[in-house]
Amino acid sequence: MRIDRAGASKGEGRSVTGGEEGYVSEVFRSIQGEGPYVGVLQAFVRFAGCSARCRYCDTEEARERTRECALRALGEPRRVPNPVSADEISSFVRALANVPGFHSVSLTGGEPLDQPEFATALVARFRAAGIPVYLETAGLSVEGARAVAGGLDFVSLDIKLPSLCPGVSLDAYRSVLPLFEGARLFCKIVVAEGFVLDELAAAARIVAAYDRAATVVVQPATPAAGCGAVTGERLLECHALASTYLDDVRVIPQCHRCLGLR
């Protein structure tokens, strides 16, 4: 078990197109700003459309399927119509990856697992090009997770608390966690004003039942409209509670927001 220590229409369905095309909001190169890999250089493929409706969402522009995908390098982005082909995305990412110190390509969102065939097609192309693949997902689709898991190098599993993400069941993560055991996995739990501490404890117990040594990041949400901040005292309480079940708990904010990066 490899565990790290350390718009056109609403995006509410699961699969949206055949595997060779999908909906992408933007592709760009930046610094990873979350979790234990904060600071590494990545290319980001931001999928468009997400079936979750989290109160703290910081990428509302990617909640729905968009008409266009922005390919961002230097200068003004090149915009291509959605759905976009896996070949076009992988070709652009290969160019972004051709720099010193490049770490991996992040499939993020939106929600990549809402488009499992397209995500799988991209993963296959990146692996063929020798580019490590880093998945950022809420893990709410067991079928989607199963489809892509075999090709992943890194997984950031964003465990959603029901008090902040209506309709989510924590029990689903019992089935999803084992699917990613071939990758370097860490879990992230976002907390914001109004979250329920007992839910954090329940999430920690679920991860601990899978692997007590797994890295779990408690991430305070960046304050936004409809989403207030969590106090430092509350974060200390979160760390202490989660650490009663887990050996490697960290509190890490969204660092890219502090740096003015995407």
94-111 pLDDT tens trace: 999 999 999 999 999 999
27-52 pLDDT tens trace: 999 999 999 999 999 999 999 999 88
Query: What is the model's pLDDT at position 227?
Result: 79
Q: Name the residue with higher pLDDT: 221 or 13.
A: 221
Percent of the residues in the chain that have a pLDDT greater than 90, as a whole number: 79
- Mean pLDDT, rounded, of the chain: 91
Q: CATH code for 21-188?
A: 3.20.20.70
Domain ranges of the chain: 21-188
pLDDT at 161 exceeding the cut of 70 = yes
* pLDDT-derived band at 3, boundaries 50, 70, 90: very low
Alpha helices in the chain (DSSP H): 86-97, 116-128, 142-148, 172-176, 197-210, 232-243, 255-259
pTM above 0.75, yes or no: yes
| Separation between Cα atoms, residue 218 and residue 196, nearest integer Å | 13
Coil, helix or strand for 257?
A: helix
* pLDDT-derived band at 54, boundaries 50, 70, 90: confident
- Computed from CA positions of residues 37, 41, 47, 49, in that sequence, does the dihedral angle turn out positive or negative? positive
205-243 pLDDT tens trace: 999 999 999 999 999 998 875 678 899 999 999 999 999
Q: Which two tokens stand for residue 176?
A: 């999803």
Residue 35: other Cβ atoms inside 10 A:
24
Largest CA distance in the chain: 49
180-212 pLDDT tens trace: 999 999 999 999 999 999 999 999 999 999 999
